[in-house]
Amino acid sequence: MSDIIQLLPDHVANQIAAGEVVQRPASVVKELLENAIDANASEIKLILKDAGKTLVQVIDNGKGMSVTDARLSFERHATSKIRSAEDLFQLHTKGFRGEALASIAAIAHVELKTKQDRDELGTHILIEGSTVKSQEVVVTPKGTSVSVKNLFFNIPARRNFLKSNTVELRHVSDEFHRVALAHPNIGFSMYHNGSELFSLQSSNYRQRVVNVFGTKTNEKLVPVEEETEVLKVSGFVGKPEFSKKTKSEQFFFVNHRFVKSPYLNHAINAAFEGLLKEGYHPSYFLNLTVDPKTIDINIHPTKTEIKFDDEHTLYAILRSSVKHSLGQFNIAPVLDFESNTNLDTPYDYKDKAGKTPTIEVDSTFNPFANERTVAPSSIRHGQQRQYTKAPAANWESLYVGLESKGNKVQNDFAEVTFESHPETASIFKTEDVEQEKTTYQLRQKYIVSTIKSGMLIIDQNRAHQRILYENLLKQLTSKEATTQQLLFPINIGFSIADVQIIKQLQSDLEFAGFEFSEVKEEQVIITGVPVGVPESEVSIVLEQLISDVENDVPDQNFSASDLLAKSMAKSLAIKTGQTLNSEEQEHILNSLFACKEPSVSPTNKTTFITLSVDDIEKKFMS
């Protein structure tokens, strides 16, 4: 039998590796930014075209590379960070696997310009699909510039899986935020299609958070500081009243590297227990510093997952640190059993001597005496004023003759009749209505109704979503939504990236009934809302809409009107746990079956099920 196992060519192996490392333009941005940081750059510039599909360019002023290093950097498993396996547990840099540039070069056109400070000329390399097209000297400033063009040009299937520019740009912005927040001492700037989106100067951590997420974020932050032998925690958590329905403002940085850890996230949620409304998530921007020997960051190609030696200890420290900060800054109630505030002396009386109160009593005062008496006020002021008490009225005369007519009074009371309103027959038979009640609410989640064939069970939240979705979609397509003017405008603060999404959907929001007086860089002023949308729900509706736009909206199926209708229906629908009276239950039941697609919610989930009499009888056969 002939041999069938063979070594893969380098360009095929690189394309396979690229599938693990490079999933979308945001993956390229992450790798290039981390390389710039490892090069000790103090200023890093990110330039994008078409959300990174056409161009991703990162320019830094780091130490640059020599001619040999520039060429070797595109080889697989070529790195300057480690020399042996033991070095994996002493990592203080970002990239160390030596696969990033090789994988990127396998599926894109890459142009590299780099120069060290001591050299007069730099190196210029062009690579297309792992093939080096040219290498020559060039005049270039100190540092490195890497341009990645036409991503996935040789893998069209992967390129077709990319989402819309809006979604891809959001993923790029997320990676940019993660790197920028982890290194506030480095200046970052970001440009997209020629317009500047971010310009972050070197600053402290609080200022970096505010610059990324908007000036209104400053009032939301609660500092967290704790240092132990195992873990050092620093950063900020958001106040409970500013919590969001999305997890867009949750950041863990372990040794200046962004990581995702559901276990540690649970510790934060435990610290906020009892302070958040159901369905809301806390915001946090926390830096964790641990010994590199106690962690393993080499368990995933993107290095966003991490393993800790002693997770339980870190969980307890993190939970206690956050809870202590919330109590220290009077965010959460704190019990102090060592002091009684009722016994505290006010500051105004701290140096004053105690004074015994005096009481004056007029011992000669008699309210039943008829004779003239001296008024107490006269005694008090040294005057001889007099007054005479009026004799009591002849009250005995009021009861003359009642004793002799006692029997008659009793007889009269026995025949007393009371006036009452005349009874009028109602045209509605209320008793019959109660008997004919056909809908019931089960666990404040389901509406149960009887039908000819058996029983109907409706999920009230999904059913209401379907009803609202079709009504909203009709208004958006016909552009006949009614706007309710607000007495006072609503001013809502958003991050720069969120405002960009609102600008893109502004016309559709106006067709839905929203009215904007101004859409600034970090805030939105709303003067009108759709009829039926409470003012308190406006920010929730917009946040949910932004979250839906961020998450996987395919190009070919993207419809702003459909997305807006789904998002608003999700935000405004009746929630599980809400009690409904009989009329409301009947209204949902009738409205649902008046819809075009009553059987599924806008997200294609079942809205109701039926149980036939036969199904019920089978349960009793055993």
Report the domain count for the chain.
3
Same domain, 158 and 298: no
Same domain, 25 and 173: yes
Q: Where are the beta strands (DSSP E) in 404-539?
A: 439-442, 446-451, 454-459, 483-493, 515-519, 523-530
pLDDT of residue 364: 82
pLDDT of residue 87: 53
Give the confidence band of 457 by pLDDT, cuts at 50, 70, 90: very high
CATH of the domain at 450: 3.30.1370.100
Residue 424 inside a domain? The answer is: no
Task: Calculate the average pLDDT of the chain.
Answer: 81
Residue 379 inside a domain? The answer is: no
Q: How far is CA 600 from CA 134, 605, 606, in A?
A: 58, 5, 5
pLDDT of residue 477: 80
Residue 415 inside a domain? The answer is: no
pLDDT at 122 over 60: yes
Same domain, 282 and 314: yes
pLDDT (tens digit, 9 = 90+) per residue, 188-213?
Answer: 999 999 989 899 999 999 999 999 98
pTM of the model: 0.69
Same domain, 229 and 303: yes
Same domain, 492 and 565: yes
Residue 384 inside a domain? The answer is: no
Helices 165-182 and 25-38, packing angle to 10 deg = 20
pLDDT of residue 427: 52
CATH of the domain at 133: 3.30.565.10
Same domain, 179 and 231: no
pLDDT (tens digit, 9 = 90+) per residue, 222-272?
Answer: 999 999 988 999 999 999 988 887 788 899 999 888 998 899 999 999 999
pLDDT at 167 over 70: yes
Residue 23 inside a domain? The answer is: yes
Q: How far apart are CA 500 and CA 192, in angstroms?
A: 12
Task: Give me the mean pLDDT over the 316-323 stretch.
Answer: 93
pLDDT of residue 395: 61
Give the H or E element holding residue 271.
helix 262-271
- Residue 225 corresponds to which tokens in the numbers above? 């500081």
* Number of other residues whose CB lies within 10 A of the CB of residue 53: 19
pLDDT of residue 350: 63
Range of the domain at 580: 442-551+559-610
Same domain, 173 and 227: no
Q: How far is CA 23 from CA 19, 26, 158, 172, in A?
A: 6, 8, 8, 12
pLDDT of residue 373: 47
pLDDT of residue 292: 83
Vertex 234 angle, CA 228 and 238, to 5°: 130
Q: How far apart are CA 99 and CA 77, in angstroms?
A: 6
CATH of the domain at 259: 3.30.230.10
pLDDT of residue 402: 57
Same domain, 282 and 151: no
pLDDT (tens digit, 9 = 90+) per residue, 527-581?
Answer: 998 887 888 888 888 887 887 776 655 444 456 678 888 888 888 899 888 899 9
Same domain, 159 and 224: no
Residue 149 inside a domain? The answer is: yes
| Cα dihedral 394, 396, 398, 404 sign | negative
Map residue 383 onto helix, strand or coil.
coil
Residue 620 inside a domain? The answer is: no
Residue 339 inside a domain? The answer is: no
Give the H or E element holding residue 171.
helix 165-182
Mean pLDDT is highest, among 20-24, 283-287, 380-384, for: 283-287
Same domain, 66 and 22: yes
Same domain, 55 and 179: yes
Tell me whether residue 362 is exposed, middle or buried, using C-beta atoms within 10 angstroms of its C-beta: 0 to 12, 13 to 18, 19 or more: middle
pLDDT of residue 328: 83
pLDDT of residue 439: 87
Comparison of pLDDT for 10 and 504, the residue scoring more = 504
Q: How far apart are CA 88 and CA 97, in angstroms?
A: 10
pLDDT of residue 123: 94
Q: How far is CA 372 from CA 366, 376, 387, in A?
A: 10, 13, 6
Q: How far apart are CA 518 and CA 525, in angstroms?
A: 5
Task: Give me the mean pLDDT over the 41-46 stretch.
Answer: 95
- Which of 306, 328, 350 is a domain's end point? 328
Give the H or E element holding residue 566.
helix 560-572
- Which of 328, 353, 378 is a domain's end point? 328
Same domain, 530 and 465: yes
- Which of 270, 299, 328 is a domain's end point? 328
Comparison of pLDDT for 377 and 278, the residue scoring more = 278
Least confidently predicted of 49-58, 346-355, 606-615: 346-355
Give Dmax (Cα) for the chain: 139
Give the H or E element holding residue 560.
helix 560-572
pLDDT at 404 over 70: no
Task: Give me the mean pLDDT over the 410-424 stretch.
Answer: 57
